[in-house]
């Protein structure tokens, strides 16, 4: 193990091992994939809100979309918000660990 060095603030610091950095960046990328899937689900779900069009020359065909939010819609929105915070926190942690060493106390 190498001798700890001082960081820009004069405190002893040590870089994280390469395996831990790779694991953090892999989990950050995984969280971004989860965020993308959650965003697609929310966009698809909220895309169901559309107006009614019943004025066709052939007959009275009425095609209406969703009229209000349901419990499932609120759960999807909540999962989207959680995935945003999950992705942001993991990406920030991976970035900070890559840029700086951890301060030894």
Is the per-residue pLDDT at 55 higher than 70?
no
Asked, for residue 54, whether it belongs to a domain, the answer is: no
Question: How far lies 92's CA from each of 22, 25, 69, 101, in Å?
Answer: 14, 10, 33, 14
Are the C-beta atoms of residues 39 and 77 closer than 8 Å to each other? Answer: no
State the Cα–Cα distance between residues 61 and 58, nearest whole angstrom.
8
Asked, for residue 74, whether it belongs to a domain, the answer is: yes
Asked, for residue 83, whether it belongs to a domain, the answer is: yes
Exposure string for 38-64, b = 16+ CB within 10 A, e = fewer: beeebeebeeeeeeeeeeeeeeeeeee
Which range marks the domain in which residue 77 is found? 15-49+69-99
Asked, for residue 28, whether it belongs to a domain, the answer is: yes
Asked, for residue 104, whether it belongs to a domain, the answer is: no
Q: What is the tally of structural domains in the chain?
A: 1
Task: Look at the pTM and tell me if it is higher than 0.85.
Answer: no
Q: Which two tokens stand for residue 61?
A: 């065909």
Asked, for residue 55, whether it belongs to a domain, the answer is: no
Q: What confidence category does residue 56 fall into, taking pLDDT thresholds of 50, 70 and 90?
A: low
Asked, for residue 84, whether it belongs to a domain, the answer is: yes
pLDDT tens per residue, range 4-50: 667 677 776 667 788 988 999 999 999 999 999 999 999 988 887 77
Asked, for residue 6, whether it belongs to a domain, the answer is: no
Q: How many CA atoms lie within 13 A of 8 on its CB side?
A: 2
């Amino acid at each position: 193990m190498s001798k700890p060095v001082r960081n820009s603030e004069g405190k002893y610091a040590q870089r994280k091992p390469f395996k831990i950095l790779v694991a953090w960046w892999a989990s950050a990328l995984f969280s971004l994939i989860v965020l993308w899937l959650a965003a697609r689900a929310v966009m698809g779900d909220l895309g169901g809100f559309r107006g009614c069009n019943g004025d066709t020359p052939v007959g009275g065909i009425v095609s209406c979309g969703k009229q209000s939010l349901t419990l499932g819609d609120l759960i999807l929105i909540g999962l989207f918000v959680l995935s945003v915070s999950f992705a942001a926190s993991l990406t920030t942690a991976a970035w900070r660990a890559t840029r700086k060493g951890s301060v030894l106390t």
